[in-house]
Amino acid sequence: MVIIGAGNTATVLGRKIRDGGHDILQVWSRNPAHADQLAKELKTSSEPSLRKLTKADIYIIAVPDDAISEIAGQVELHNHLVVHTAGSVSKNVLQDASRNFGVLYPLQSLRKEMPLVPEIPFLVDGNTSDDLTLIFDFAETISTRVVVANDEERKALHLSAVIVSNFSNHLYTLAEQYCNRTSTDFSLLYPLINEVARRIEFKSPSELQTGPAIRGDMETIHGHEELLKNFPEIKNLYANFTKSIQEYYNNRQ
């Protein structure tokens, strides 16, 4: 197969594919130095021209979402299978690149610096039933959890992923900033962060909510808001989250 891209997703998928026993024939990147670097790690070759990609069973376009259409317009793969790895981009963006196309979306936050490749669920789709079968079977060789998801289903899960990953990470960032400015140790929160994440594997998050908002502990809430008077961004988020939690559980009663 051929990997188009050399960033975080391309690198981590390349490692998974290599470890799955597949032959990676070539790597392309807009930055030739990055392609060379990834190709060296994967023990394969790089190619500077999209027009000269070698023949392969599968071409994986692992580039930023807004670059997929441009790449698809530059490659001529005829009837060779091509997939992209984006969560919120339609599979049809690839229809000019090949008659056979689909999606191989890794539902995971991927960083090439990670020492270990994490578990990666894949959402897959194909232009035809045969394409879908090929993509699904391939995904099963590199993941223990593969789910068929059309464009709308994949977009919904991508949005959910942004909420649980990107938004929560921003909250961690603000909490770390608050700790730094108040000379407290953010690392003391690591066990709490890990425990809260672990619990939702076994029970619905809606049944695990704790804290002053759900208890209606207004004295503590007002005390927190007083502590945040010099941190308006965090104070605003605190107020909005408190309101959201209270309204959610009040509406369930």
Per residue in 111-133, pLDDT (tens digit) is: 999 888 888 999 999 999 999 99
Shared domain for 128 and 166, answered yes or no, is no
Q: How far is the C-alpha of 126 from the C-alpha of 83, rounded, in Å? A: 8
Radius of gyration in angstroms for the set of CA atoms belonging to the chain, rounded to a whole number: 22
Q: Strand 58-61 and strand 81-84: pairing?
A: parallel
Question: What is the structure's pLDDT at 253?
Answer: 64
Chain centroid offset of residue 212 CA? 32
Shared domain for 34 and 117, answered yes or no, is yes
Shared domain for 183 and 232, answered yes or no, is yes
Shared domain for 182 and 144, answered yes or no, is no
Tell me the whole-structure pTM to 2 decimals: 0.91
Question: What is the structure's pLDDT at 76?
Answer: 85
Question: What is the structure's pLDDT at 130?
Answer: 97
Residue 72 burial (C-beta neighbours within 10 Å; 0-12, 13-18, 19+): buried
Where residue 108 falls among pLDDT bands split at 50, 70, 90? very high
Shared domain for 37 and 75, answered yes or no, is yes
Q: Strand 58-61 and strand 45-46: pairing?
A: unpaired
- For the chain, give the number of residues: 253
pLDDT above 90: residue 12 = yes
Q: How far is the C-alpha of 107 from the C-alpha of 105, rounded, in Å? A: 6
Shared domain for 143 and 180, answered yes or no, is no
CATH number of the domain to which 236 belongs:
1.10.1040.20
Shared domain for 114 and 160, answered yes or no, is no
- Could you report the per-residue pLDDT of 150-178, keeping only the tens digit for each? 999 999 999 999 999 999 999 999 999 99
Which range marks the domain in which residue 49 is found? Answer: 2-149
Shared domain for 101 and 188, answered yes or no, is no
Shared domain for 126 and 169, answered yes or no, is no
Shared domain for 9 and 37, answered yes or no, is yes
- Could you report the per-residue pLDDT of 14-30, keeping only the tens digit for each? 999 999 999 999 999 99
Contact 60, 83 (CB under 8 A): yes
Question: What is the structure's pLDDT at 252?
Answer: 79
pLDDT above 90: residue 44 = yes
Domain boundary among 149, 166, 197: 149
Shared domain for 108 and 57, answered yes or no, is yes
- Helix (H) or strand (E) holding 83, with range, is strand 81-84
**How high is the mean pLDDT of the chain?**
95
Shared domain for 91 and 174, answered yes or no, is no
- Could you report the per-residue pLDDT of 57-101, keeping only the tens digit for each? 999 999 999 999 999 999 989 899 999 999 999 999 999 999 999
Return the closest-CA partner of residue 76 out of 48, 52, 46.
52
Domain count, the chain: 2
